[in-house]
Amino acid sequence: MKLSTSGLLFVVISTLTGVAGQLFLKRGTLSTAVALDLSHPIQTFVSLITNGYILGWIAMAVISTLTWVLVVSKFELSYAYPVVMTVSFVLILVLSQWLFGETLTATRLIGVALMIAGIIVAST
């Protein structure tokens, strides 16, 4: 499988926008402006669509999805998906700890190392 520059660019864009979207979503749900109360669906909906972080998540999801379509048109899905998910997982793990103070355990680090090793083995 030939790795084109444009294909790799789409992989990077899809991955980074997907990760950014998840970080926006997490930040948006931490906001007091988002009241997730299913007993008041209209108020919940309004609080979601007026939250900038939630809107950022939606925008990133659209961009990530559109570029993902381009990725799967240029790469084998069985190659692209594990690579993107592993890189995304690593970025989310590190950035969640840094931005939100989430726990970074030895078990999670070992899991990430195994995922990376698996990607290296699977891509050779």
Give the pLDDT confidence of 82-102 residue by residue, as tens digits. Answer: 889 999 999 999 999 999 999
Q: Where are the alpha helices (DSSP H) in the chain?
A: 5-30, 41-49, 52-74, 77-100, 106-122
* Of 56, 62, 68, nearest in space to 11 by CA: 68
Domain membership of residue 49 as a residue range: 5-122
pLDDT of 64 over the 70 cut: yes
Mean pLDDT along residues 115-121: 88
Whether the predicted pLDDT of 9 surpasses 80 = yes
Q: Which tens digits make up the pLDDT trace of 22-61? A: 999 999 888 765 567 777 788 878 888 888 999 999 999 9
* pLDDT for 1 beyond 60: no
Give dist(CA 5, CA 40) in Å, integer: 48
**Higher-pLDDT residue of 117, 38:** 117
- pLDDT, residue 47, reads 81
The tokens describing 107, both together, are 């078990």
pLDDT at 21: 98
* pTM of the entire predicted model: 0.85
CA distance 83 to 1: 14
Q: Tell me, what's the pLDDT at 35?
A: 64
Residue 103 DSSP code: -
Domains: count for the chain = 1
The residue whose two tokens read 């995922």 is: 115
In sequence order, which residues have a C-beta less than 8 Å from that of residue 76 and are 6 or more positions away?
A: 1
User: Residue 78 contacts by C-beta under 8 Å, 6 or more apart in sequence?
Assistant: none
